[in-house]
């Protein structure tokens, strides 16, 4: 299903306060001096074990799980909320990511390009993440799926010899904060309830479960207010 546990290193160039994920991950601890010597230029950091979500396996698994429970999928472009409302939808959950602005203008939403190189390096058992809490930028080095850069090879020189298996690029839906709220949208003479759930930037997989739970809570609120019992039994 694309979810597994893996351990790795969080590296910083200077001491930083304990991160918010400290109590969410397993086995969180500070890196020892001996461990830090493996990574020149980094003087501080933490080690932990975390749940990893590998999207290319997880999303098909999730889709299959939903289909087996009666959820139907249609593959087509939506031009407007009005178009969906006219099909008889009581509630629209808007998860259109970086393209949300096409359905409703949102000046806070911007594309943030990212690139991933997948390499064959089975000798690597841990991930490495460099944090810069002061410049607010992140660089990932993850087992079997890495962002390519000279810095990455400096941290893990053996990667220079790894065979590139695949590469892809995409646009992250960057926003100052996730838009997760309900709105009554006027569509001509009628109104439709829309739950927006987009703008997850580079953390959409990490926080998807909590966001989906909040969207479901808002959905329940609307159903209750409209006086209809939910039909789905997921």
Ligand X SMILES: Cc1cc2nc3c(=O)[nH]c(=O)nc-3n(C[C@H](O)[C@H](O)[C@H](O)COP(=O)(O)OP(=O)(O)OC[C@H]3O[C@@H](n4cnc5c(N)ncnc54)[C@H](O)[C@@H]3O)c2cc1C
Name the site residues for ligand X (rule: CB under 6 A): 77-78, 95-99, 102, 114-116, 140, 170, 172-173, 198, 200-206
Identity of the residue, 31 or 146, whose beta carbon is nearer to ligand X in the bound complex: 146
Alpha carbon distance 181, 159 (integer Å): 43
Least Cβ distance, residue 166 to ligand X (angstroms): 12
Least Cβ distance, residue 78 to ligand X (angstroms): 4
The residue assigned the tokens 């739970």 is 213
For residue 41, the tally of other CB atoms under 10 A from its CB is 11
Residue nearest to ligand X (CB): 204
Identity of the residue, 41 or 170, whose beta carbon is nearer to ligand X in the bound complex: 170
Least Cβ distance, residue 194 to ligand X (angstroms): 13
Identity of the residue, 45 or 201, whose beta carbon is nearer to ligand X in the bound complex: 201
Backbone dihedral region for residue 196 (phi beyond 0: left; psi -120 to 50: alpha; all else: beta)? beta
Identity of the residue, 55 or 70, whose beta carbon is nearer to ligand X in the bound complex: 55
Least Cβ distance, residue 173 to ligand X (angstroms): 6
Least Cβ distance, residue 211 to ligand X (angstroms): 8
Identity of the residue, 43 or 148, whose beta carbon is nearer to ligand X in the bound complex: 148
């Amino acid at each position: 299903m694309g979810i597994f546990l893996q351990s790795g290193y969080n590296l910083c160039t200077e001491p930083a306060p304990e991160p918010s994920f400290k109590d969410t991950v397993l086995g969180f601890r500070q890196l020892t001096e001996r461990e830090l010597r493996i990574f020149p230029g980094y003087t501080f950091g933490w080690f932990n074990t975390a749940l990893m979500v590998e999207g290319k396996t997880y999303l098909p698994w999730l889709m299959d799980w939903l289909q087996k429970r009666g959820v139907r999928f249609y593959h087509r472009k939506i031009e407007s909320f009005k178009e969906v409302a006219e099909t008889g939808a009581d509630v629209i959950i808007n998860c259109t990511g970086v393209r949300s602005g096409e359905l409703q203008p949102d000046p806070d939403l911007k594309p943030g390009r990212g690139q991933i190189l997948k390499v064959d390096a089975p000798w690597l058992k841990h991930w490495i993440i460099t944090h810069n809490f002061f410049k607010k930028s992140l660089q990932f080095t993850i087992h079997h799926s890495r962002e390519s850069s000279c810095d990455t090879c400096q941290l893990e020189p053996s990667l220079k010899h790894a065979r590139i298996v695949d590469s892809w690029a995409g646009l992250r839906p960057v926003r100052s904060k996730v838009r997760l709220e309900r709105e009554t949208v006027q569509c001509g003479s009628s109104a439709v309830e829309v739950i927006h759930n987009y703008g997850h930037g580079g953390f959409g997989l990490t926080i998807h479960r909590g966001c989906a739970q909040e969207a479901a809570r808002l959905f329940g609120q609307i159903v209750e207010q409209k006086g209809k019992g939910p039909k789905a039994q997921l």
